[in-house]
Copies of this chain bind each other. A is one copy, B any other.
Amino acid sequence: MAKRPLILVTNDDGITAPGIRALIEVMNKIGDVVVVAPDSPQSGMGHAITINSTLNCTEIKVDNGPQKEYQSSGTPADCVKLAINELMARKPDLCVSGINHGSNASINVIYSGTMSAAIEAGIEGVPAIGFSLLDYQWTANFNPLKPFIETIVRNALKEKISSDVVLNVNFPLLGENEIKGIKICRQAKARWVEKFDKRQSPMGKDYYWLTGEFINEDRGEDTDEAALAQGYISIVPTQFDLTAHHAIQKLNSWNFEE
């Protein structure tokens, strides 16, 4: 590519999270980088957007890199909308989101602020990739991921992925030499079984903490969960047309005239 690509970087853990700093470092090798990310952690925000209150957005300098950076009070999806429609001089060639501190494999994609940011870019016509590491620690080591991220991003730019298909990339918690490779996968059919920890406030009012256990009932070998368990990086192509086309025929047999 003769001209350096313009790359938007965002996340949901906040602009100072080690995961996004690692991602910015890799992207600076590949293109011109603009960062628009939340000013505080937004995990579990799903595809929330801010419609009944205002958004703050300020240019800031976090490190000595060449990238331009903005922090916003908005959700990850807000950050992408702001970046593409207000802050960036032209539409970016690619949006990368992450690196998330924690898994966004299988059903986690639905609750993920990281992936909602990437999906928002896709909706706006910008090819996008979300990156996540299976380590929830703030001090997670992102170094082993860097060469793989560079390879995936260079492929995405070269192959010109469609903005209709957003890549959900998850990394196993392994060293660079332990990672077995990359597998293209489908989303495993898994879910969280919630347990609510019920407590009472000093004023006698009930309240709950949400906790849960992750249950993967999908034995398929072609799933992201299977790839990760075997030591592979998983890439799931993800779409935002949610239509269950296979169900249309059956629904057409319903009797609405009774």
A residues sitting closer than 8 Å to B (CB atoms) are: 41, 43-52, 54-58, 77-78, 81-82, 84-86, 107, 109-111, 116, 119, 123-124, 151-152, 154-155, 159, 162, 164-165, 167-168, 181-182, 184, 186-187, 189, 191, 193-196, 198-199, 205-210, 235-245, 247-248, 250-252, 254-256, 258
Contact = CB atoms under 8 A, between A and B. Distances in A.
A57 B210 contact: no
A244 B248 contact: no
16 contacts: A44-B52, A45-B48, A47-B47, A50-B210, A51-B210, A55-B208, A55-B209, A55-B210, A56-B208, A58-B206, A86-B208, A155-B254, A184-B248, A186-B245, A236-B242, A236-B243
Majority DSSP secondary structure for residues of A touching B? mixed
A114 to B, nearest CB: 13
Contacts of A209: 54-55
A186 B116 CA distance: 21
A43 B194 CA distance: 24
A-B pairs, top 4 by smallest CB distance, nearest first, are A46-B47, A237-B247, A46-B46, A239-B244
A235 B253 CA distance: 13
B243 A151 contact: no
B207 A55 contact: yes
A58 B256 CA distance: 37
Given A159-B254, A243-B237, A210 B81 contact: yes
A207 B54 contact: yes
B54 A44 contact: no
Given A237-B248, A247-B165, A255-B155, A194 B85 contact: yes
Nearest to A186: B243
Contact of A123 (B46, B110, B184, B205): B110
Nearest to A181: B256
Given A48-B48, A240-B107, A123 B208 contact: no
Contact of A182 (B58, B82, B110, B256): B256
